[in-house]
A and B are shown apart, each in its own frame.
Chain A
Amino acid sequence: MGAKSMDNRKGIALVSRRKFLQLAGLSGGSLILGASLPGWQPAWASGLEADTKLNLFVSVDSDDTVSIICHRSEMGQGIRTGLPQVVADEMEAEWAKVKVVQGLGDKRYGSQNTDGSRSVRRFYDTMRKMGASARTMLEEAAAQRWSVPVAECEARAHRVHHKPSGKSASFGELAELAATQKVPDDASLKLKPAESFKYIGKPVPTYDTPDMVTGKAVFGQDVVIDNMLIASIERAPVLGSKLEKLDDKAAKKITGVIAVERLDGGIEPPLFHPLSGVAVLATNTWATMQGRKALKLSWSDTPHAQHDSASFIETLKQRVSEPGKVITQHGDAQKALEAADKRLQATYSAPYLAHATMEPVSATALAKEDGCEIWACVQDPQSVQAHVGTALGLPAEKIKVNVTLLGGGFGRKSKPDFVVEAALLSKKTGRPVKVVWSREDDIHHDYYHAASAAFFEAGLDKDGKVSSWLQRTAFPSIGGTFAPGADHPAPFELDLGFADMPFAIDNRQCETAQAEYHTRIGWLRSVSNIQNAFGVCSFADEVAHAAGSNPEEFLLELIGPDRKFDPSQGEYKYNNYGESQEKFPVDTARLKEVLRRTAAKADLSSVANGRSSGEGWGIAVHRSFLSYVGIATKVRVQNGKLEILEMHCVCDVGLAVNPDRVESQMEGAMVFGLSLALMGEIKMEKGAVSNSNFHDYPLLRIQQCPAMSVEIIASEEPPAGVGEPGVPPVAPSITNAIFAASGTRIRDLPINRHLTLA
């Protein structure tokens, strides 16, 4: 996603205690380590420069507590367990004595932008080094204390042991002396061999679970600050629209309402600016909501008020049926199509989607003359620093960002518009302000996943072999949220499962068609992989059936020989999720292995799949976020009614650092994918979203959730993405199963437009 810069200078250094305490808000701490980390910023997303030499920390207290900073945001993916467990393992710390400390927003940590399924893969090696470095320094401290060679000292289970004499000292006892040791350089660091891992690759229990089941966990919505006001904001319903008239007399009469404030907005490109709005501030949430209902206001007209999602999707379908902008070209797809024995075409579409995190976004701010403190559920605290700083006219370092737990993120909480609202309102009122978004606010004012259309055409030769493949897609780019003029899918969106389509077809062509934005477009869990995989995996299945082949065998042949390939061609440079292709190649052997195992979960024979039984299996496999995931789904279709009977996931995510959290992310991805495929649809009429809450933007409920399984392929490859790659293959596995069961091919999502859900 966008330009990336990376700095591979890695090294571990002692940082001053003051700096550590300042970053973490910790007390005590004798051994404090920092590590410089590779930096990564989507430059267009945050406007931050890519600062590269930054730090992450671990400390040991004299009471034996090992504090490990988690600088990434926890939103259900288990990162506050996953990264610290790596450090603890290398360090020989006992998990029960580890305290996880949430890092404040600070550039010195490196990127804290928790998206793109990259926390573990980006920080795994560094975390190991941090742990190993701490262990080495503790061993050296023990050697010094006992005046013995360091080779005779060994850290084990939170103590350092002197092997010859059998004496030992706890980490806490050694902490102070350890802090005075020289920091080992990278080259001399000895990492643990994989067979002696205690926590890495093991299902370490989630750090925050005990607090979550007792109501103690603090989310953005839960922040309480003395003397704070609560704000509820009525916002412009259409992009670009501004407040015209306001009558707030009735609102101000509501008991508990303290103030009514305007927020300027209507700026394009929308970036992370607040929308034009009117905030009602009160001493409690109920009063602010009542006050808001009593507002009388009107909004200015904008060209986006013509936007209608249903006709927009029709327009996109029309546009993808005509020649578009060529992105990549292998052989001569057009000529091969003309020479084909059999030609097949299909057009797919998918609607706008909203994130609908269970916790609607919320932020609390206390703005002062010379700085501002924030408490919020954000995926990227540094982006908050930058945007709040700009809005208040303060340097970013003057914005202190405390990251709470996130009640779901999925990409929504990496956009800090709601935090800027809180900061501006605090400045206007001179009091701490918590902005509470309601579910309606959340559904009405999201950064939506783009509506899309895609056209596919394949040519088969006499033997039923695919000789040509043309694919063309159109959807408003995320780029439109950040820069004017974006009116085609951008290359970084084609990187996500479209231009890197893995089929070994001699003549193939990838194109885009025009699509302009009319609302704020943003990234949602797995981003354009959603529509890209839906198109590619559906069409491959269609061609398989047309060729009279078993989908597994057909796909294996289509993917072709085992190879590692670079999808780049000409102007088009494949970004590979910001990683090198040496470390994370596009590897068809891994994809095929996932495919075989996925197919083994299903029964793809024509006997099992039949219109008479009304039952059928579908499969789909897809590489995204450097991981390979296959989904096998069994459905029953009877009298226009659809029931999802089973769903199985097979994944190769490289090394699974915490297999239990990998499994839970895949379960979550299946549920997320089921919601979007079966019932996910944001509708826009006259430029405004017409859905409002879970009755008309439904999510999958427990009784609709099929029996599931997750198979994680054991792998020694470096850890790859986990949070997102489970989502893309879900939708096509379902529609492929529906076809197998009923002969009905669903090409326009969501599925409940065509079939009733059981």
Chain B
Amino acid sequence: MELTVNGEKHQIDADENMPLLWALRDLLQLTGTKFGCGAGLCGACTVHADGMAIRACLTPVKAVAGQQITTIEGLSSAGDHPLQEAWIKHNVPQCGYCQAGQIMTAAAFLEKNPSPSEADINQAMSGNLCRCGTYPRIKAAIKDAAASHPGKGDEINGGEVNG
């Protein structure tokens, strides 16, 4: 089976029902995507498939064959995605384990909604747990990234955004 991850094509030898999470972690050794619950309850495994945030633990590899998968390792080439920068600025992570999933969820969401309200952020991020309790800083970092890169989300549409 062929998987395209972070722009690279990989041939993998896997049961077609194997969740993408284990294909990424065990077969491609892309361990930035985390295992938190295996049941779609925590968001630690969030990656993008054709720009959409999905839970890799519940997505069989066959469902994403032919799609562009992006993991935390491929979100930006130099770790300088506006959210990654905002995360550093607000010193968001504690243990860090949930943070790849948080950032991937937030990145897909900001693409669609570049100037979110507090309620929008709450709703978008409600599927991502953080046991360490970094929620206040996650919120602040998302707001900051949205404010300092108002055009970011509109790249897809090529339009102007007020911000």
Q: A660-B91, A695-B41 are in contact. Are A703 and B126 (CB under 8 A)?
A: yes
Which residue of A205, A216, A285, A668 contacts B134 across the interface (Cβ within 8 Å)? A668
Q: Which residue of B lies closest to A666 (CB)?
A: B133
Q: Which of B59-104 contact A (CB under 8 A)?
A: 71-73, 75, 79, 83-84, 87-88, 91-100, 103
Q: Which of A495-517 contact B (CB under 8 A)?
A: none
The answer on a CB contact under 8 Å between B100 and A285 is no
Q: Which residue of A lies closest to B80 (CB)?
A: A214
Which residue of A219, A286, A405, A699 contacts B18 across the interface (Cβ within 8 Å)? A286
Question: For A210, A213, A283, A699, which residue has the most chain B Cβ atoms within 10 angstroms?
Answer: A213
Which residue of B29, B83, B95, B135 contacts A358 across the interface (Cβ within 8 Å)? B95
Q: A221-B35, A224-B31, A708-B136 are in contact. Are A213 and B84 (CB under 8 A)?
A: yes
Indicate if B112 sits at the interface (CB-CB under 8 A). no
Q: Which residue of B lies closest to A357 (CB)?
A: B131
A726–B73 CA distance with the chains assembled, in angstroms: 34
Indicate if B155 sits at the interface (CB-CB under 8 A). no
- Kindly provide the distance from the CB of A86 to the nearest chain B CB, expressed in whole angstroms: 18
Q: A360-B35, A671-B135, A702-B138 are in contact. Are A212 and B93 (CB under 8 A)?
A: yes
- Kindly provide the distance from the CB of A409 to the nearest chain B CB, expressed in whole angstroms: 8
Q: A284-B26, A702-B126 are in contact. Are A215 and B134 (CB under 8 A)?
A: no
Indicate if A316 sits at the interface (CB-CB under 8 A). no
The answer on a CB contact under 8 Å between A284 and B42 is no
- Kindly provide the distance from the CB of B131 to the nearest chain A CB, expressed in whole angstroms: 4
The answer on a CB contact under 8 Å between A206 and B93 is yes
Q: Which residue of A lies closest to B123 (CB)?
A: A703
The answer on a CB contact under 8 Å between A703 and B122 is yes
The answer on a CB contact under 8 Å between B79 and A702 is no
Q: Which residue of A lies closest to B125 (CB)?
A: A702
Which residue of B15, B29, B33, B36 contacts A224 across the interface (Cβ within 8 Å)? B29
With a CB–CB cut-off of 8 A, which chain B residues contact A74?
A: 95
The answer on a CB contact under 8 Å between A439 and B96 is no
With a CB–CB cut-off of 8 A, which chain A residues contact B91?
A: 203, 205-206, 209, 660, 664
The answer on a CB contact under 8 Å between A667 and B35 is no
- How many B residues, CB 8 Å from partner? 59
Indicate if A672 sits at the interface (CB-CB under 8 A). yes
**Mask: chain A, 203-240; 1 = CB below 8 Å from B; 0 = not:** 10110111111111111011010000010000000000
Q: Which of A629-666 contact B (CB under 8 A)?
A: 660, 664-665
- How many A residues, CB 8 Å from partner? 66
A693–B40 CA distance with the chains assembled, in angstroms: 10
The answer on a CB contact under 8 Å between A214 and B129 is no
A439–B21 CA distance with the chains assembled, in angstroms: 15
**Mask: chain A, 666-678; 1 = CB below 8 Å from B; 0 = not:** 0111111001000
- Kindly provide the distance from the CB of B107 to the nearest chain A CB, expressed in whole angstroms: 11
Indicate if B19 sits at the interface (CB-CB under 8 A). yes
With a CB–CB cut-off of 8 A, which chain B residues contact A287?
A: 15
**Mask: chain A, 454-495; 1 = CB below 8 Å from B; 0 = not:** 000000000000000000000000000000000000000000
A14–B127 CA distance with the chains assembled, in angstroms: 52
A284–B122 CA distance with the chains assembled, in angstroms: 35
A105–B109 CA distance with the chains assembled, in angstroms: 42
Which residue of A214, A356, A668 contacts B94 across the interface (Cβ within 8 Å)? A668
The answer on a CB contact under 8 Å between A694 and B37 is yes
**Mask: chain A, 390-427; 1 = CB below 8 Å from B; 0 = not:** 00000000000000011111100000000000000000
A406–B34 CA distance with the chains assembled, in angstroms: 13
The answer on a CB contact under 8 Å between A222 and B130 is no
In terms of DSSP, what is the predominant structure of the interface of chain A? Answer: loop
The answer on a CB contact under 8 Å between A213 and B41 is no
Q: Which residue of B lies closest to A438 (CB)?
A: B38
Q: Which of A249-265 contact B (CB under 8 A)?
A: 255-256
Indicate if A75 sits at the interface (CB-CB under 8 A). yes
With a CB–CB cut-off of 8 A, which chain A residues contact B99?
A: 212-213
A670–B59 CA distance with the chains assembled, in angstroms: 34
A286–B122 CA distance with the chains assembled, in angstroms: 32
With a CB–CB cut-off of 8 A, which chain B residues contact A206?
A: 91, 93
A708–B135 CA distance with the chains assembled, in angstroms: 10
A703–B130 CA distance with the chains assembled, in angstroms: 12
Q: Which of B107-126 contact A (CB under 8 A)?
A: 121-123, 125-126
Indicate if A335 sits at the interface (CB-CB under 8 A). no
**Mask: chain B, 124-158; 1 = CB below 8 Å from A; 0 = not:** 01101111111111110000000000000000000
A210–B123 CA distance with the chains assembled, in angstroms: 26
Total number of residue pairs linking A and B with CB closer than 8 Å: 189
Which residue of B26, B39, B72 contacts A214 across the interface (Cβ within 8 Å)? B72
A495–B70 CA distance with the chains assembled, in angstroms: 51
The answer on a CB contact under 8 Å between B42 and A668 is no
Q: A209-B93, A213-B79 are in contact. Are A358 and B88 (CB under 8 A)?
A: no
With a CB–CB cut-off of 8 A, which chain B residues contact A438?
A: 38
Q: A284-B26, A695-B39, A705-B136 are in contact. Are A359 and B95 (CB under 8 A)?
A: yes
A189–B30 CA distance with the chains assembled, in angstroms: 48
The answer on a CB contact under 8 Å between B139 and A215 is no
Indicate if B25 sits at the interface (CB-CB under 8 A). yes
Indicate if A382 sits at the interface (CB-CB under 8 A). no
A699–B133 CA distance with the chains assembled, in angstroms: 10
**Mask: chain A, 701-733; 1 = CB below 8 Å from B; 0 = not:** 111010110000000000000000000000000
Q: Which residue of B lies closest to A222 (CB)?
A: B31
With a CB–CB cut-off of 8 A, which chain B residues contact A410?
A: 131
The answer on a CB contact under 8 Å between A408 and B93 is no
With a CB–CB cut-off of 8 A, which chain B residues contact A436?
A: 35
With a CB–CB cut-off of 8 A, which chain A residues contact B3?
A: none
With a CB–CB cut-off of 8 A, which chain A residues contact B94?
A: 76-78, 664-665, 668
The answer on a CB contact under 8 Å between B41 and A76 is no
A701–B134 CA distance with the chains assembled, in angstroms: 11
The answer on a CB contact under 8 Å between B39 and A286 is no
Q: A215-B33, A664-B91 are in contact. Are A439 and B38 (CB under 8 A)?
A: yes
A4–B95 CA distance with the chains assembled, in angstroms: 28
Question: For B14, B18, B93, which residue has the most chain A Cβ atoms within 10 angstroms?
Answer: B93
The answer on a CB contact under 8 Å between B42 and A213 is no
The answer on a CB contact under 8 Å between A439 and B32 is no
Q: Which residue of A lies closest to B18 (CB)?
A: A286
A230–B132 CA distance with the chains assembled, in angstroms: 27
Q: Which residue of A lies closest to B133 (CB)?
A: A671
Q: A213-B88, A693-B41, A694-B41 are in contact. Are A405 and B79 (CB under 8 A)?
A: no
A665–B137 CA distance with the chains assembled, in angstroms: 12
The answer on a CB contact under 8 Å between B137 and A215 is no
A660–B134 CA distance with the chains assembled, in angstroms: 13
Indicate if B27 sits at the interface (CB-CB under 8 A). yes
- Kindly provide the distance from the CB of B78 to the nearest chain A CB, expressed in whole angstroms: 9
With a CB–CB cut-off of 8 A, which chain B residues contact A214?
A: 32, 72-73, 75, 79, 84
The answer on a CB contact under 8 Å between B132 and A408 is yes
Question: For B27, B83, B88, which residue has the most chain A Cβ atoms within 10 angstroms?
Answer: B88
With a CB–CB cut-off of 8 A, which chain B residues contact A221?
A: 31, 34-35
The answer on a CB contact under 8 Å between A217 and B96 is yes
The answer on a CB contact under 8 Å between B134 and A208 is no
Q: Which residue of B lies closest to A434 (CB)?
A: B26
Q: A221-B35, A702-B135 are in contact. Are A407 and B27 (CB under 8 A)?
A: no
- Kindly provide the distance from the CB of B144 to the nearest chain A CB, expressed in whole angstroms: 14
The answer on a CB contact under 8 Å between A694 and B42 is yes
Which residue of B35, B100, B131 contacts A408 across the interface (Cβ within 8 Å)? B131
7 examples of A-B residue contacts, CB within 8 angstroms: A209-B93, A216-B73, A286-B15, A358-B132, A672-B131, A700-B133, A702-B130
Seen from chain B, the residues whose Cβ lies within 8 Å of a Cβ on chain A are 14-15, 18-19, 22, 25-27, 29-39, 41-42, 44, 71-73, 75, 79, 83-84, 87-88, 91-100, 103, 121-123, 125-126, 128-139
Instruction: Give 6 A-B pairs besides A216-B32, A408-B95 with Cβ atoms closer than 8 angstroms.
Output: A255-B15, A358-B130, A407-B97, A439-B39, A660-B91, A702-B126
The 8 A-B residue pairs with the shortest CB-CB distance, nearest first, are A215-B32, A671-B133, A407-B97, A76-B95, A76-B94, A212-B96, A215-B72, A668-B133
